[in-house]
Amino acid sequence: MSIRSGRSPAVCFLLGLPRSGTTLLAHLLQHHPDIVAPPEPWLMLALEAFGRVDSCHPVGSALIEAATSQFLGRISRAAASRAFADAAYDQYLAEAGKRVILDKTPRYWTVLDFLDSVYPEAPHILLMRNPYAIAASLKSTWGIPLRAESSHTVSVSSIVDLMLRMPDVIISSLADLVLGLPRLAAHRTRPQTHWVQYEMFVAHPDEEVRRLLAALECDPAAFTSSDMKQADYLRTSSFGDRKILERTTIDQGSVEAWRSQLSVEEMQTVTNLVGAELFLELGYEEELLHARKAGVMDTGQEVTELYRRIFRTWWRFRTTKRGALSASSHAEAAVHTAWNVSDNRDAAIEMLRDEVARLEQILNIS
């Protein structure tokens, strides 16, 4: 085992929401002889969270967090994180015999600023997909429920109670749409960020992959074709889209499948969560028009902003131990905590009451 010294490894971050096609794009990019793409490292999420430990730690989480915070306060946390990440990436590259490592971790949308502080020069590939198609894939693959609350008569307390009882994986997936999508959309203007639309990618995979390879300073001629091959590396991992293991060709039918997979009520939910403005900003005017012809109403940007506020408040509550808010909590990070949510239901309802009440009034639920 060898670690190359004297220079930083070539790192590229592939960004995109879960179920947006990042596994497929990473798989094709690593057909190039210079590139290796681990299924999903999650390395930068772990480094960003360094020092924050589970409340059940026998030594005492408060002591660990206070001590590491004081110690790291005297040094450059970004430099220390860079040193560790460089060593890890470089060792992985040495083992693979490759030059460029492609870190594809969908939930890096929660730590975009941290990525830039540690690797300001790193190129980013940003993969965007029609939000309706992402929602349909969440529904069909993971069973994530999608329904318009406006079709039900519920109280403020029952809305919040539903959020409290939802498993972490469901809330995390919905937060990807509500909070992650606008953050990634804003990230398009970052220098050295190369934007890819999923629909264009699956329609013209060879051309899009070669375009990205040129941007990464990898010889496009060394990429032969977008044939689905050599996906066995995914069998030994718990991460990444398992459907790739079953495919022999790229499924272009995935572009339009959402039209038959989502009901009008489900399309309404997605429209409310994402917002018509963001659909238009990302170039999905035709998809939005289809939804409107089917009966989806534009409830306005205020509704979408209220959903975002609810989810931000919720994440701040979930990521702070014992339900107490703090300025240092990471409101939009999808993390799992050990404390019992039911013990803090009253506190959660109180925090979310104003936002949900306003949303309830606008949607005429009450």
Domain ranges of the chain: 10-362
Q: Return the pLDDT at 150.
A: 47
Q: What is the pTM of this model?
A: 0.83
> Rounded to whole angstroms, how far apart are CA atoms 308 and 274?
9
Tell me the DSSP string of 11-52: EEEEE--TTSSHHHHHHHHTTSTTEE--S---HHHHHHTTT-
- Please compute, for residue 132, the number of CA atoms within 13 A of its CA located in the half-sphere on the CB side: 31
Q: Return the pLDDT at 151.
A: 43
52 contact partners, CB below 8 Å, separation of at least 6: 61, 65
Q: Return the pLDDT at 339.
A: 33
- CATH of 10-362, picked from 3.30.70.100, 3.30.2310.20, 3.40.50.300, 3.30.1360.120, is 3.40.50.300
Task: Please report, in tens digits, the pLDDT of each residue of the chain (366 residues total).
Answer: 334 445 789 999 999 999 999 999 999 999 999 999 998 999 999 999 998 887 788 888 888 888 988 898 888 999 999 999 999 999 999 999 999 999 999 999 999 999 999 999 999 999 999 999 999 999 998 888 887 454 444 444 555 565 666 777 788 888 999 999 999 999 999 999 999 999 999 999 999 999 999 999 999 999 987 666 666 666 666 666 656 656 667 878 889 999 999 999 999 999 999 999 999 999 999 999 999 999 999 989 988 998 888 888 877 776 664 333 333 333 333 333 333 444 455 666 666 666 677 766 776 654
Q: Return the pLDDT at 6.
A: 52
Q: Return the pLDDT at 3.
A: 40
Output the 3-class SS for 185-202: HHHHHCCCEEEEEHHHHH
Contact 134, 19 (CB under 8 A): yes
